[in-house]
Amino acid sequence: MKAKAGLLVLVAAMLGGTALAHHATTEFDHKRMVTVEGVVREFRWTSPHAWLFVDVPGNAPTGGRWAFEGASISIMLRYGWKSSSVKAGDRVRVVTAPHRDGGRSGELLSLTLTDSGKVLKAGSL
């Protein structure tokens, strides 16, 4: 019985390490926060992470389509998100930890629906 319990603990520890490795956010620059405003192009309520695509007016480097990676659905639900929280055409202000490669992408940290002022937290801000 002790051998089975030990094996179970070992397997759980190995799987836990894999899960943490998958959810690393080192590709994002958490020392620099960027805020962009635009119109939602698409919101994908998908596993393993939600995705938000926003068209930001203006020219490069900030203007154009941005892609924001959200947390897992279970985490976003805990923050109060639903699949219907954001829809195409919504005007939004997004706070992001930008991708280190300098592109128009980043980790979704918070979103404000500019018409209503409603704020949705989405990450470790």
The topology (CATH level 3) of 28-121 is: OB fold (Dihydrolipoamide Acetyltransferase, E2P) (2.40.50)
Determine contact, residues 54/38, Cβ cutoff 8 Å: yes
The H or E element containing residue 44 is strand 34-44
pLDDT digits (tens, 9 = 90+) for 98-120: 998 888 999 999 999 999 999 99
Mean pLDDT of 5-28: 51
**And the tokens for 43?**
């919101």
**Averaged pLDDT score across all residues of the chain:** 84
Q: Evaluate if residue 59 carries a pLDDT over 80.
A: yes
Q: Evaluate if residue 16 carries a pLDDT over 50.
A: no
DSSP lists the bridge partners of residue 107 as 69, 97
Look at 12 and 62; give whichever has higher pLDDT.
62
Residue 15, number of CB atoms within 10 A of its CB = 10
pLDDT of residue 50: 95
Confidence of residue 15 (pLDDT cuts 50, 70, 90): very low
Identify which of 67, 60, 61, 58 has the alpha carbon closest to the alpha carbon of residue 96: 67
Per DSSP, the three-state class of 12 is helix
Look at 117 and 5; give whichever has higher pLDDT.
117
All structural domains of the chain with their residue ranges = 28-121
pLDDT of residue 103: 87
Determine contact, residues 68/37, Cβ cutoff 8 Å: no
Whether residue 48 is preceded by a cis peptide bond, meaning omega within 30 degrees of 0, is: yes
